[in-house]
């Protein structure tokens, strides 16, 4: 606001309507008005109060064993797959799978990029194309499979005895950033049933750049 020697003769905002006020009173009100205006203008320049820095422990669990599972029951097979994801806090995270099955069938559990197509073609299922591998920084870190056989009553005919194969497996993947999202790919084939499924966990609640599915 510019001031001049004849300020008392010119309206100054709201002060112009109080011509009967003394010069001292007008100066006090004018000073208050300038203080209020200056406070308003300075607000954007105030340093924002930073939120508390939350330090996590050595490991931060993102998804637990109960957060992801796949249960398949057929006449000849009972299959349960569970998984969890753990963030190591150093730019890497691990994905763990446990698989228990009783019966016969071929099961495959793997990690794939989101562009991986869901298909029944066995030869193409384990293929990750070079373009996809550039944004898919994951590899198998540990794998163990235990198998055993036993005789039991057949599910489809309790009057008969069948050989049942029990399989327990553990596998872990190690992944590093940058990445957008990873998907869990399950394929299962047996004499009476087949399934191909792709599941992409929701990272919206912890990722600064959430993955927005399309298609």
Tokens of 197: 């499924």
> Residue 178 and residue 209: Cα distance in Å, rounded?
11
For residue 50, the 8-state DSSP code is: P
Please write the tens of the pLDDT for every residue from 13-70. Answer: 333 344 455 555 555 555 555 544 443 333 333 344 443 333 444 555 566 666 677 8
Tokens of 44: 């954007």
- What SS3 state is found at 102? strand
- Average pLDDT for residues 111-135, to the nearest whole number? 59
Most confident of the ranges 29-33, 126-130, 133-137, 168-172: 168-172
- Looking at the chain, the whole-number percentage of residues with pLDDT higher than 90 is 0
Predicted confidence at residue 7, as pLDDT, reads 45
Domains of the chain are: 7-45 (no CATH), 60-199 (2.60.40)
Please write the tens of the pLDDT for every residue from 76-88. Answer: 778 888 888 888 8
Nearest CA-CA partner of 165 in 189, 146, 149, 144: 149
Whether the per-residue pLDDT at 117 is higher than 50: the answer is yes
Q: C-alpha angle 100/68/208, rounded to 5°? A: 145
Among 79-88, 141-150, 180-189, the range scoring the smallest mean pLDDT is 180-189
CA torsion through residues 100, 106, 112, 116, sign = negative
100, 112 in Cβ contact below 8 A?
no
Predicted confidence at residue 18, as pLDDT, reads 44
> Residue 129 and residue 17: Cα distance in Å, rounded?
77
């Amino acid at each position: 606001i510019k001031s001049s020697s004849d300020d008392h003769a010119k309206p100054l905002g709201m002060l112009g309507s109080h011509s009967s006020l003394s010069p001292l009173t007008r100066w006090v009100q004018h000073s208050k008005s300038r203080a209020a205006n200056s406070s308003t203008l300075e607000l954007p320049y105030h340093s924002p109060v930073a939120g508390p820095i939350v330090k996590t422990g050595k490991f931060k669990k993102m998804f637990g064993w109960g957060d992801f599972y796949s249960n398949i029951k057929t006449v000849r097979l009972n299959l349960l797959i569970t998984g969890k994801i753990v963030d190591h806090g150093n730019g890497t995270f691990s994905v763990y799978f446990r698989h228990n099955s009783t019966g016969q069938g071929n099961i495959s559990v793997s990690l794939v990029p989101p562009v991986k197509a869901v298909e029944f073609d066995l030869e193409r299922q384990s293929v990750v194309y070079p373009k996809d591998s550039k944004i898919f920084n994951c590899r198998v870190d540990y794998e163990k499979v235990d198998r055993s056989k036993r005789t039991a009553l057949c599910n489809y005919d309790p009057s008969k005895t069948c050989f049942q194969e029990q399989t327990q497996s553990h596998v872990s993947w190690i992944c590093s950033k940058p990445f957008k999202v990873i998907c869990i790919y399950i394929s299962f084939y047996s004499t009476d049933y087949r399934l191909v499924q792709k599941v992409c966990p929701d990272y919206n609640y912890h990722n600064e750049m959430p993955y927005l599915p399309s298609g």
